Amino acid sequence: MSKILYASEVTTDIHRLDSAWEDPETFAFIPDKTGEVHGMIEAALAELPPPYRTGHFALLTSGSTGRPKLVFGSRDRSSSLARVLHAHQQSEEVNETVVVLPLTYCYSFVNQFLWARQHDRPLVLTKGLTRPDELKSALTAAKDSMICLVGAQVPLLSEYYDGSVFPGVIRVHFAGGRFPSERLEDLRRLFPNALIFNNYGCAEAMPRLTLRPADAAEETSHVGWPLPGIEIDSSPEGELLFRSPYGAVGQADDNGFRVIGPADWVATGDLGRQLDDGHVELLARSSEVFKRHGEKISIPVVLSSVSLAWRGPVSTYREVDGSGEDGYVLVISPHPGDGDVRKILLTLRNKHARSHWPLRIESIDELPFLPNGKIDVQELGEQVDLKQHWRQRI
């Protein structure tokens, strides 16, 4: 039976993760609290086909469907990816990496833990933005350091560290969601010496598919060029597909283990396409595009407009309106001042037809976050302290 390594074991002793990596036996590295999926994880590991019992590792992901699953990576493949990332993210001059996201998150695991191992660089563990003071100390002490962030953290960084400068951070990576291009100036103020990269991928890609320097494009939909060896295609429905020599070799959920073969095209869960110059254009998560009153609604496109009028964190949750039409609720944070919601509404009116407007605008003191720094959309609609500011009356 393969073993399970929990995040808290590693937080207190990073050598536990090193040991697990060096031990041939396949292991799963997962958050401490996995709730009802823990049984699935144990069963998947217990029933792992023999070829996967050594030389592999598994991470837990919510996946594009929101149904948690284990993705299985090959240690050889992921080590290769860490080397490729080193070259393409211009990391030779990086001397250490400060960990802001949980290492159980594939992005952080490969881009930081494996990268640090491969290139013999120190890994500086922090508790991220759950301990802003400690993180500030780590960033202040950083010397030629690399950090990995998700876009939703930027408003918090701006708020917590307003006026601070971290010149020792020379690489800032983004992945795991829309690149916060509207916050680029804030990032440059915080990290004046950093090259900033937008990385794109998914857990099934383990995790990287494309990357681009932030300056390479203004549009957030431009997620860069595929890394060497990665093939990109689109399904007839517009879903972005990939084949990668670094990608997951299998996945397991309640339905058991499924091999991902080298010839298999894998869906990223996003809608997108590769353009003539090779760069990938991302249109939206499959789950973030839906039809309302016959019109195709893209939540990321609407959020991009909202960001012109509201600089704080925003998110949405899906809801069906009284007439059975799909819709969504816009949630802003923190609670707005006089005129803020009106400004958002006027921006929505100027840029989008009524079908694209949210069913309601609500606010919350703080958005609920998952351990990986992403907004917990599943929990968002359940929050008791949501305050309503506006609603459509249809």
Partner 1 sequence: MNNHQKLKDLLLDVFLIGESEYSLEISQEDIETWDSMGLVAMAVGIEETFGHHLTQEEALSIRKFQDIVDILSTKGMSFDD
* Chain positions contacting partner 1, by CB under 8 A: 293, 342, 345-346, 348-349, 354-355, 357, 390, 392-394
Residue 339: CB minimum distance to partner 1, A: 10
Which of 262, 294 has the CB closer to partner 1?
294
Task: Characterize the bridge pairing of strands 3-6 and 314-320.
Answer: unpaired
Residue 315: CB minimum distance to partner 1, A: 21
Which of 71, 348 has the CB closer to partner 1?
348
For tokens 């609609």, what's the residue? 381
Which of 101, 344 has the CB closer to partner 1?
344
Q: Given CA atoms 50, 51, 53, 58 in this order, what sign does their dihedral have?
A: negative
Residue 379: CB minimum distance to partner 1, A: 28
Which of 237, 338 has the CB closer to partner 1?
338
CB 89 within 8 A of CB 197: yes
Which of 85, 332 has the CB closer to partner 1?
332
Which of 357, 369 has the CB closer to partner 1?
357
Which of 67, 342 has the CB closer to partner 1?
342
- Interhelix angle 340-351/299-306, nearest 10 degrees: 130
Residue 289: CB minimum distance to partner 1, A: 20
Residue 360: CB minimum distance to partner 1, A: 11
Residue 310: CB minimum distance to partner 1, A: 15
The strand pairing partners of 71, in sequence order, are 59, 251
Residue 394: CB minimum distance to partner 1, A: 5
Which of 152, 359 has the CB closer to partner 1?
359
Which of 192, 322 has the CB closer to partner 1?
322
Closest to 146 in 3D by CA, of 100, 198, 208: 100
Query: What burial class does residue 7 get, using C-beta atoms within 10 Å of its C-beta: 0-12 exposed, 13-18 middle, 19+ buried?
Result: middle
SS3 content of the chain, % helix, strand, coil (to 5): 30, 30, 40
d(CA 303, CA 312): 12
Q: Which residues, in sequence order, are CB contacts of 167 under 8 Å at separation 6+? A: 191, 192, 193
Task: Characterize the bridge pairing of strands 289-292 and 280-285.
Answer: unpaired
Residue 391: CB minimum distance to partner 1, A: 8
Looking at 176-298, list the stretches that DSSP marks H as alpha helix, in order from N- to C-terminal side.
184-190
The CA dihedral of 36, 37, 38, 40, to the nearest 10 degrees, is 130
Residue 314: CB minimum distance to partner 1, A: 18
CB 164 within 8 A of CB 190: yes
Closest to 27 in 3D by CA, of 82, 79, 81, 72: 72
Closest to 211 in 3D by CA, of 84, 305, 378, 66: 84
